[in-house]
Structures are given as structure tokens and as C-alpha cells.
């Protein structure tokens, strides 16, 4: 069946938002088509090479950021802290696994949220749900919840400003591997990181910086490559008006590139084989992620992966499993086996966040640090047992000192102190770093066991 940039419009559209002014929508889409791309096809192809290497165990993917990025969070301190935590975690993982880590932020466009219900009611008032800043606003007012196509232009602008800052920081030496002390977050001294963790992290970074200086002293040329840090961006490709408007052909390469982000992913709620999202994403050249939850039928997953990557191109697909700690042992092995039997190439990545949600008695959404760790541990164990590669993790986290997940230093009573997420709860700085150190220690044990 032939694909074109708008062929998704003929398919059932899960999570669709109906804009009430088609003329305003059309003029926003036309404007987005004329604006420059946020990323380039060169970068997309480079990421694809990295993912292809990760698929065969030569790299590890660290993907993380907010559940719902806010336009108002486009501020230098907040953005820099997101990069710092990604950098710090990646250092720990590089040290433990002795592999390069591909850093992908949920950043510069993670503005669209799927919802379990299209409406929300409060005190007898029913309004549309909040679908992310690219669609409407969280305030529970008729005006706040109105679907406004112009929000797409705001989102594009804020993604561009965010990326501009990310790129300047990365080029300007902020991410220089020789100086991990530059990446300390302002509140690192204050964050109640356990002393052993603080020491472990400090020793890791010192050892890495020393190893770099040693390699440079003996004239190893590859160091240049090692010290240049790259960040890639990703977001859920939910709003197809926005994504398709920025999808285009480029000179000297075949195919269509979605240029709002390096790595879009299809969410658990929009991965229907005959749906609009799969139709759209089967036609783009980008690396594409697909979330796979505990209810997935393994044969459907194989059909989905085949539809999205009929030529079985290396580096093209990332299968992000989010089973929930309690379901991993039951739901993951049949999926992994079916995909292996069908010889579909994917990078297996564990999202330990979305299957482990819970609500406190006072109605706050939270997740338990231990469940998150357990899901990673069980997922890695399944891959080790089946001989497949656990190639990455996908986390909701922030460089801010928030109180959204319990465990790892926070109790339920702490949640009120600094709960900022407008969607799912994120790991805070301490929890994220602790997660990396725990994951790192498994990776280094696994590596030593193979020696």
C-alpha cells in the first residue's frame, strides 16, 4: 500500500484531538512546513548507526527525561540540569559496561501526552483532558483545555530554543569528559545522596578523567572521539499534524525524514497495526521506538515490527518494553522469543516506569523506586537467559530536586514537598543517579562473569 506524508489521515486515529477551527489548523500546518527542520538527516542516520551497534551489544542506550515537558521549562538552568543528569548517569554506565553510551533525551518536543480518558471531571464540570502543551494547558478551565492549533507553533519554537541551547552547551565544552566536576548540579551537595553513593560517583568520574589523560599522554588519537559528547532528542510522535508537517525529503538521500526529532516513538496506546500512527511511522527513515506493554500479543508485535521495518534495516527499531515488575517474567519471554524466531532486528530497551504506576491515598500518582529497579533487573535477567541483548533503559527523570517517586530516599509523606510533574512522576536527581549506579554494578558483574 502506497505511503505518503498524509496517508495516516485515512486510518483510525487513536488519541485524536478534534480542533474546532480547520482553517486555523491548516494555516499552522502550512507554516510548520515552511519552517527549518529541528534536526538533520545526517544526525538521524548517525543515530541509526549507533542503534545498530547497540543491537549487537556494542553500545548501550540511555534515554530519559520528563514525562511531559513543559514550554515554561524552557529555561537555561532546567535544560542544563537535564543534560547534566544524563551525562552523569552515562558516565557511570560507561565505566561499568566499558561500552559507549548513546544519550537520548526525552527533550525538545516531548509536549504531547496520550490520555486514558478524553475528558476529566471535577465537581460536576467536564472538560477535555490535558493532552500536553502542544495541544492545550493543564489548568482546569474551559480556556486552558481548549485544543489550540497555534500551540504547535509555540511547541516548535520552544523545541528550537531548547535544542539551540543543548547544541551550544555540547559544542562549547560543557560536556567535556575531562571535567566531570563541571556537571555537578547546583544542589548536589544538598541532595541527600547517601555517602557511599557520593563517594562511588566521585571515584568513577575521577578514574574516567584520569584514564582519558593517560590515553592522551600516550598519544591515543581515539580520545578526541571519546571526549566529544553527543545528545540526541526523542519524543512520543503523538500529534501527527505536527510530525507530518515537518516530514520531508532531503537532497542526496532517499526517503522521508521526520525532522522534529532524531528518534520518535509510538506509544502503547497508539500502536494499533491498522491505526494512523503506525501508518505514518512506517514511512519515515528515522530510528523509531515502539512501546510494548504486558497485554501485547507476541505475533501482533512481530507484525508491527515487520510493518515498521519491512527490510529489517539495522538500527531502525527500538522495542521499549514496559511490562511492570510483576508481569515481566510472564509477558516478556514470549515476546522476545517470537521476535527472535521471526528474526526481526530490534534494540531491546527497558522502560521500568510505565508499568509500575500507583496512586496514593491522597490521589497523587507515584512509582516506587524498588519496583523500577526490580523491573530492570528482571528484564535484564530474561534477556540473559534467552541470549538476547538488554540494550538500554528508558526513564522518566529530571535534574530537578523533585519529590514524585517514593523509595530511594523519599517516603509517601515527602511527595507533597516538591511535586511538579503535570503527568507521570519522575525520578529526581538522587534517585536517577542511584539507579545508574545500581544498574552499573549489575552491568559490571555481568561483564566480569563473561570474561
CB atoms within 10 A of CB 3: 13
Nearer to ligand PEP, 243 or 424 (CB): 424
Q: Could you tell which of ligand PEP, Co ion, none binds residue 316, using a CB distance below 5 to 8 A set by kind?
A: none
CB 295 within 8 A of CB 270: no
Q: How is residue 293 written as a grid cell?
A: 506493554
Nearer to ligand PEP, 37 or 114 (CB): 114
Nearer to ligand PEP, 285 or 424 (CB): 424
CB 233 within 8 A of CB 108: yes
Task: Write the DSSP symbol of residue 129.
Answer: P
SS3 104: strand
Stretch of 269-277, 301-309, 339-347, 419-427 lying at the interface with Co ion (CB under 5 A): 419-427
> How deeply is 450 buried, as exposed, middle or buried, from its count of CB atoms within 10 A (0-12, 13-18, 19+)?
exposed
Between CA 269 and CA 76, with CA 111 as vertex, the angle to 5 degrees is 145
C-alpha to C-alpha distance for 393 and 63, rounded to whole angstroms: 6
Q: Which of residues 22-81 bind Co ion (CB under 5 A)?
A: 67
Nearest distance in Å: CB 401, ligand PEP: 21
Nearest distance in Å: CB 363, Co ion: 18
Q: Could you tell which of ligand PEP, Co ion, none binds residue 50, using a CB distance below 5 to 8 A set by kind?
A: none
Nearer to ligand PEP, 205 or 234 (CB): 234
DSSP letter string, 44-75: HHHHHHHHHHHHTTS-EEEEEE-SS--GGG--
* 290 touches Co ion by CB under 5 A: no
Q: Could you tell which of Co ion, ligand PEP, none binds residue 268, using a CB distance below 5 to 8 A set by kind?
A: ligand PEP
Nearer to ligand PEP, 69 or 285 (CB): 69
* 424 touches Co ion by CB under 5 A: yes
Q: Could you tell which of ligand PEP, Co ion, none binds residue 144, using a CB distance below 5 to 8 A set by kind?
A: none
DSSP letter string, 373-435: HHHHHHHHHHHHHHT--EEEEEEEB-SS----SBBTTB-GGGGGGG---SSS--B-HHHHHHH
Nearer to ligand PEP, 97 or 261 (CB): 261
Between 195-217 and 429-450, two packed helices, what is the crossing angle to 10 degrees? 60
Residue nearest to ligand PEP (CB): 267
* 107 touches Co ion by CB under 5 A: no
Nearest distance in Å: CB 439, Co ion: 19
Nearer to ligand PEP, 53 or 424 (CB): 424
Please, which residues bridge with residue 427 across strands? 397
- In the complex, the residues that contact ligand PEP under the rule CB under 6 A are 67, 114, 236, 267-269, 291, 322, 354, 424
Nearest distance in Å: CB 404, Co ion: 11
Binding-site ranges for Co ion (CB under 5 A):
67, 424
Amino acid at each position: 500500500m502506497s505511503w505518503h506524508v498524509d496517508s495516516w489521515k485515512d486510518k483510525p486515529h487513536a488519541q485524536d484531538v478534534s480542533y474546532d477551527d480547520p482553517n486555523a489548523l491548516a494555516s499552522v500546518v502550512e507554516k510548520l512546513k515552511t519552517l527549518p527542520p529541528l534536526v538533520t538527516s545526517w544526525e538521524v542516520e548517525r543515530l541509526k548507526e549507533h542503534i545498530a551497534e547497540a543491537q549487537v551489544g556494542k553500545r548501550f542506550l540511555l534515554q530519559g527525561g520528563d514525562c511531559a515537558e513543559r514550554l515554561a521549562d524552557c529555561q537555561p538552568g532546567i535544560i542544563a540540569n537535564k543534560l547534566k543528569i544524563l551525562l552523569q548517569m552515562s558516565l557511570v554506565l560507561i565505566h561499568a559496561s566499558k561500552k559507549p553510551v548513546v544519550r537520548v533525551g526525552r527533550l525538545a518536543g516531548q509536549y504531547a501526552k496520550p490520555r486514558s480518558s478524553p475528558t476529566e471531571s471535577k465537581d460536576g464540570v467536564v472538560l477535555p483532558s490535558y493532552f500536553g502543551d502542544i495541544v492545550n494547558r493543564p489548568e482546569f478551565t474551559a480556556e486552558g483545555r481548549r485544543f489550540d492549533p497555534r500551540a504547535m507553533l509555540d511547541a516548535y519554537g520552544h523545541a528550537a530554543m531548547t535544542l539551540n541551547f543543548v547544541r551550544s552547551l555540547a559544542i562549547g565544552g560543557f560536556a567535556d569528559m575531562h571535567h566531570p566536576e563541571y556537571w555537578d548540579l547546583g544542589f548536589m551537595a544538598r541532595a541527600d545522596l547517601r555517602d557511599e553513593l557520593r563517594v562511588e560517583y566521585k571515584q568513577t568520574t575521577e578514574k574516567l578523567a584520569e584514564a582519558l589523560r593517560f590515553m592522551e599522554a600516550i598519544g591515543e588519537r581515539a580520545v578526541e572521539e571519546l571526549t566529544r559528547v553527543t545528545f540526541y532528542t526523542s519524543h512520543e510522535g503523538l500529534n501527527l499534524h505536527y510530525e507530518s508537517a515537518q516530514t520531508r525529503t532531503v537532497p542526496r538521500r532517499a526517503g522521508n525524514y521526520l525532522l522534529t526529532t532524531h528518534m520518535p516513538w509510538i506509544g502503547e496506546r497508539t500502536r494499533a497495526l491498522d491505526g494512523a500512527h503506525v501508518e505514518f511511522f512506517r514511512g519515515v527513515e528515522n530510528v523509531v521506538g515502539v512501546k510494548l506493554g504486558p497485554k501485547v500479543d507476541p505475533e501482533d508485535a512481530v507484525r508491527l515490527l515487520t510493518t515498521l521495518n519491512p527490510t529489517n534495516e539495522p538500527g531502525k527499531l527500538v522495542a521499549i518494553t514496559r511490562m511492570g515488575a510483576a508481569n515481566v517474567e510472564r509477558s516478556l519471554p514470549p515476546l522476545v522469543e517470537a521476535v527472535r524466531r521471526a528474526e526481526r532486528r530490534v534494540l531491546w530497551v527497558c522502560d521500568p516506569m510505565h508499568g509500575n504506576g500507583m496512586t496514593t491515598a491522597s490521589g497523587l500518582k507515584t512509582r516506587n523506586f524498588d519496583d523500577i529497579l526490580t523491573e530492570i533487573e528482571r528484564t535484564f535477567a530474561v534477556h540473559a537467559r534467552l541470549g538476547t541483548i538488554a540494550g538500554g533503559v528508558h526513564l522518566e527523570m529530571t535534574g530537578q530536586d523533585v519529590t514524585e517517586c517514593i523509595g530511594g530516599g523519599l517516603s509517601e509523606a515527602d511527595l507533597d514537598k516538591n511535586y511538579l510533574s503535570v503527568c507521570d512522576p519522575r525520578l529526581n536527581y538522587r534517585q536517577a543517579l542511584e539507579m545508574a549506579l545500581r544498574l552499573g554494578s549489575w552491568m559490571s558483574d555481568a561483564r566480569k562473569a563473561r570474561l
